[in-house]
């Protein structure tokens, strides 16, 4: 064997020089296996010009050290790989696309919003020929941490993280950083991750301005109280939704700053939030109230509570997410749901999967990608969502109120976008 090759072995292996050199001299008795293993080494490089240390090539191929080194030497001789330093190699051939990217998707739970996101993700991954590995965080911080460890064990190429708890986001991000796994954080930011989701302040502003215009046109701008249904566990980013709503109201009703403001925690199931609002109305009584809800399930619970108190005409409610149940309510004649800001979760996959592929292919991507927001009202809901009108009208009861027969609405945890 030429001296230069032995020297290269010594530089990369040190004490393993003799074993590696012997392997090179003896060759491989099964040439077809050698070709297949060389293909695996090429697949380890995911884009043209990517540089990998020997250890990374070993991790991605799961081949022994001496075998990996020998195959890299052969590929260098064939002009497909370059050696750019001690134990560091560069792809000069381009990606081998026979192996699809493996993307981990940690979905949030079993709400309608999460289900719509998941359906869109599965469809987009299939279209782009991406292998999507889905785990459910189940609105549990502990489950989210376990799922992060599972994705790392699976050695996925990238993770789409959809979990709500702000307090565990740094821990999850740290795990993926240590594993050198890129992350896209959906709706709740994670340190170092690309953010994809709501522009919460803007969404709040859209809803607040619409609610203020309604109060000016229907109540002459006279409001007795402002009730905000919030979600503190989701952290400061979701608080921007409430802040935007209040600022939007102020642009339409400057004197709203003098109106008493009440904040209630919107965490829990539909029935739990409904009970919180019931207790509040029993304690404070009903008066002319603008309600800003962090999401649609809180908004629908508020409508139900005022209806039960016989005070429907004393409330006006703004929702967020434009879920199917809220769209059905917007179609009900005389509804006090002024509107809901749409996020279009059914389109998330069409943006998230291409964004993930751009990251994996080392293309430049923005650090923050906001989804489109649009105000839905009784006037435009059929224009934006024409296909669900027929099924929604079947969900109305004889009193005209939207039936809450959907178990997902009654029982789903409200830790949602």
Predicted pLDDT at 109: 84
**What three-state secondary structure class fits 316?**
strand
Whether 323 is in a domain gets the answer yes
Whether 360 is in a domain gets the answer no
pLDDT one-digit tens code per residue, 315-357 = 999 999 999 999 999 999 999 999 999 999 999 999 999 999 9
Strand order in 315-321's β-sheet?
Answer: 261-265, 225-230, 289-293, 315-321, 337-342, 374-376
Say yes or no: 148 and 11 in one domain: no
What does residue 401 show for φ and ψ, rounded to 5 degrees?
Answer: -85, 150
Whether 353 is in a domain gets the answer no
Q: What is the dihedral of CA 309, 395, 276, 305, to 10 degrees?
A: -10
Predicted pLDDT at 269: 82
Say yes or no: 148 and 40 in one domain: no
Predicted pLDDT at 391: 55
The domain boundary residue, chosen from 167, 197, 227 = 197
Say yes or no: 265 and 119 in one domain: no
Residues in a beta bridge with 396? 402
How much is the average pLDDT of 405-416? 41
Predicted pLDDT at 92: 79
pLDDT at 38 over 90: no
Residue 99: partners with Cβ closer than 8 Å, 6 or more residues away = 43
Domain count, the chain: 3
Return d(Cα 307, Cα 403) in angstroms, integer. Answer: 13
Say yes or no: 276 and 294 in one domain: yes
When the pLDDT of each residue in the chain is averaged and rounded to a whole number, the result is: 86
Say yes or no: 403 and 261 in one domain: yes
What's the CATH code of the domain at 82?
A: 1.10.10.10
Say yes or no: 216 and 298 in one domain: yes
Give me the domain span that covers residue 9. Answer: 3-91
Say yes or no: 403 and 320 in one domain: yes
Whether 359 is in a domain gets the answer no
pLDDT one-digit tens code per residue, 52-103 = 999 999 998 889 999 999 999 998 988 889 999 888 998 877 666 556 899 9
pLDDT one-digit tens code per residue, 101-121 = 999 999 988 888 999 999 999
Whether 45 is in a domain gets the answer yes
Say yes or no: 393 and 322 in one domain: yes
Q: Which helix (H) or strand (E) holds 152?
A: helix 141-154
Say yes or no: 85 and 124 in one domain: no
pLDDT at 236 over 90: no
Say yes or no: 256 and 404 in one domain: yes
Say yes or no: 48 and 176 in one domain: no
Predicted pLDDT at 388: 78
The domain boundary residue, chosen from 197, 214, 236 = 197
Predicted pLDDT at 153: 96
pLDDT band of 417, cuts 50, 70, 90: low
pTM, two decimals, is 0.71
Predicted pLDDT at 145: 97
Predicted pLDDT at 353: 96
pLDDT at 203 over 80: yes
Say yes or no: 184 and 124 in one domain: yes
What's the CATH code of the domain at 320?
A: 3.40.50.2300
The domain boundary residue, chosen from 197, 225, 250 = 197
120 and 346 Cβ atoms separated by less than 8 Å: yes
Whether 113 is in a domain gets the answer yes
């Amino acid at each position: 064997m030429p001296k230069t090759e032995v020297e290269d072995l010594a530089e990369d292996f040190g004490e393993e020089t003799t074993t590696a050199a012997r392997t090179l001299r003896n060759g491989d008795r099964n040439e077809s296996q050698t070709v297949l293993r060389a293909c695996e080494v090429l697949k380890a490089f995911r884009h043209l010009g990517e540089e990998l240390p020997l250890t990374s090539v070993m991790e991605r191929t799961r081949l022994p050290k001496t075998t990996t080194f020998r195959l890299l030497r052969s590929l260098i001789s064939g002009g497909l790989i370059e050696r750019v330093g001690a134990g560091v190699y560069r792809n000069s051939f381009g990606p081998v696309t026979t192996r699809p990217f493996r993307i981990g998707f940690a979905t949030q739970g079993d709400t309608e919003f999460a289900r719509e996101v998941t359906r869109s993700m599965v469809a987009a991954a299939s279209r782009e020929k991406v292998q999507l590995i889905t785990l459910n965080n189940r609105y549990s911080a502990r489950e989210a941490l376990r799922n992060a460890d599972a994705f790392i064990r699976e050695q996925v190429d990238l993770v789409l993280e959809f979990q709500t708890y702000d307090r565990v986001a740094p821990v999850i991000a740290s795990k993926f950083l240590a594993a050198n796994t890129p992350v896209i954080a959906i709706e709740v930011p994670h340190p170092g991750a690309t953010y994809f989701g709501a522009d919460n302040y803007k969404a709040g502003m859209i809803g607040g301005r619409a609610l203020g215009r309604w109060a000016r046109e229907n109540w002459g701008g006279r409001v007795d109280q402002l009730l905000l249904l919030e979600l503190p566990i989701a952290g400061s980013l979701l608080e921007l939704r409430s802040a935007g709503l209040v600022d939007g109201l102020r642009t339409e009703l400057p004197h709203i700053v003098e109106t008493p403001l009440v904040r209630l925690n919107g965490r829990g199931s539909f029935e739990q939030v409904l009970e919180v609002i019931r207790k509040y109305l029993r304690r404070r009584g009903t008066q002319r109230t603008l309600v800003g809800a962090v999401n649609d399930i809180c908004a629908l619970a508020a409508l139900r509570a005022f209806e039960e108190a016989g005070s429907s005409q004393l409330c006006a409610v703004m929702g967020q997410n434009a879920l199917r149940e809220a769209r059905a309510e917007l179609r009900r004649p005389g509804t006090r749901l002024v509107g809901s800001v749409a996020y279009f979760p059914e389109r998330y996959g069409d943006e998230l999967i291409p964004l993930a592929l751009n990251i994996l292919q080392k293309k430049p991507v923005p650090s923050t990608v906001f989804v489109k927001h649009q105000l839905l009202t009784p006037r435009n809901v059929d224009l934006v969502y024409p296909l669900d009108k027929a099924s929604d009208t079947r969900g109305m009861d004889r009193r005209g109120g939207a039936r809450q027969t959907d178990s997902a609405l009654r029982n789903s945890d409200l830790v949602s976008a």
